[in-house]
Amino acid sequence: MKTPSPSSPLLLVVLFLSLVCMVVSVRPSAFPRRYHEYARKYEDQSFPAQWFTQTLDHYNGADSRTFQQKYYVNDLYWDKDNGPVFLYINGEGPVSGPPSSSTDEVVTLAQKFSAIIVTLEHRYYGQSVPFANNSLQNLQYLSSKQALFDLAHFIVNFTNYVLPPPPVVNNPGEITTRKVFTIGGSYSGALSAWFRLKFPQITVGAIASSGVVNAILDFTAFDEHVAFAAGEDCANALRKVTQLAENAIDAGGDSEKNVKALLGAQTLVDNGDFFYFLADSMAEGIQYGFHSELCTPLINAVLNNATDLLYVYSNYTNNTWGVYLGTPAEYATAWQQNITVDFNKADRQWWYQTCTELAYFQNAPKVGSIRSQRVNMTYHRTHCKNVFGAPVWPDTEATNEYYGGNYTAATKVVFVNGSQDPWQEASITSSFSFFEPTVYITCENCGHCVDLRGCPNGCTDQNALNQARSEIATLVGTWLYE
């Protein structure tokens, strides 16, 4: 992924975006993990990294192995006597600092409620790595369940042994307990909801921004929502791009080489990986609020009967998607087979989580698909096997039985989604309980985790975002002070 320098104007846009949503990112296609990769691109020395000795296997009391897990603290707004603890949950990507931007919803909430912000890097990502390499054997302790116990073990120790004791109140000898509120976006939004579900004694409430709580094996609804959010003209133009790319690949030889070179995808020797990258670059333009940058040039080209539609699309992949969102090389099977630990890479780890637990496989719908029909269940099953050298496959029914799927029965969790975000199809958008409200934000570029980070270049309806944030703040205050 291309990384702007701290002085680059691109950073201002990047800081507005959400793996995270992230953290970081989510990869079968347009994975939510990318959110977290936007959050902070350089180390802020105002918030030094700290380390926690974490249990490797929370499910085996006989296993005494541990690893070092990185965390950050932002206490600039904290009332040490009465302020709550905001546990900002990170997902599938490296972390280089706590939320600290004045435009970040986590920061504005911390200012409003005089909270301390603490954020823990997810196991196996960034520098929080238990082993010297990411072999299949070593990855066995990477799961959402282990991650939830990480959070519980950490926050109990942090509030009891790192923070100063709260003041004595009411009767002599009686002390208050630190109130903990969790916040997360995308996969970590799901973790936020699941943490409240599994550890209600530790938290008083949770925000699940674009929280993908429903593990979906055959996720065709993702592509369908991309088409809906793009609009008919743009969706038709994207279908033309896909068809032209398919024609070039099928022709082989120089045609195949030329189309891959045009899109900077020469390393994608597996054509399935190429079509996956093509679909992802389209979806992420919608998902992260770059609707105009993606759609307007393509629609104009179609209206003008342009014959170079692939070239027009390449301008988007090279100058928008490639700058802010990703790089084609990450989609290569060979890239994901590499077991070397690299603090800045997350693809292999996230594929492991999807291939063994969560899925979210964004397959092509049978009718009206934007993505190639070659992005299907056969591709995903083959890809999982090729990446890990074994027939790994997720049991999504078991995952949803454990957490509840679309009926995650936690209390005091607010689910927040943006109208353009295709990941809402794996989230909760309609409240089925008074104790589990939903907030839905509608605008042309209200994408993934929009409440946390806003929209690139500003939301088309800023009032919609402001109103949503006000609703969320009211819920947070209610649950903190009950």
Q: Are residues 445 and 456 in contact, defined by beta-carbon separation less than 8 angstroms?
A: yes
How many angstroms separate the Cα of 84 from the Cα of each of 98, 162, 178? Answer: 16, 14, 6
Question: Which of 284, 187, 302 has the alpha carbon at shortest distance from 234?
Answer: 302
Contacts 24+ apart (CB under 8 A), 176-179: 176/82, 178/84, 178/85, 179/84, 179/85, 179/204, 179/480
Q: Provide the pairing of β-strand 205-209 with 413-418.
A: parallel
Active-site residue among 186, 314, 369, 372?
A: 186
* 448 labelled catalytic: yes
Angle 344-345-348 from CA coordinates, rounded to 5°: 160
- Is 36 an active-site residue? no
Q: Euclidean distance between the first and final Cα of the chain, in Å?
A: 44
36 Rama sector, left if φ>0, alpha if ψ -120 to 50, beta otherwise: alpha
Question: Do 212 and 187 form a contact (C-beta atoms < 8 A)?
Answer: yes
User: Which of the residues 150, 280, 421, 451 is marked catalytic?
Assistant: 421
- For 305, left (φ over 0), alpha (ψ -120 to 50), or beta? left
Strand-strand pairing, 50-55 and 66-74: antiparallel
Residue 405 has a CB neighbour count (10 Å cut-off) of 17
**46 included as an active-site residue:** no
Instruction: Evaluate whether 394 touches 357 at the Cβ level (below 8 Å).
Output: yes
Structure-token pair, residue 149: 């116990």
Query: Which one from 29, 128, 448, 451 is the annotated catalytic residue?
Result: 448
Burial of 479 (0-12, 13-18, 19+ CB in 10 A): buried
Three-state DSSP state, 182:
strand
Residues serving a catalytic function are 186, 421, 448
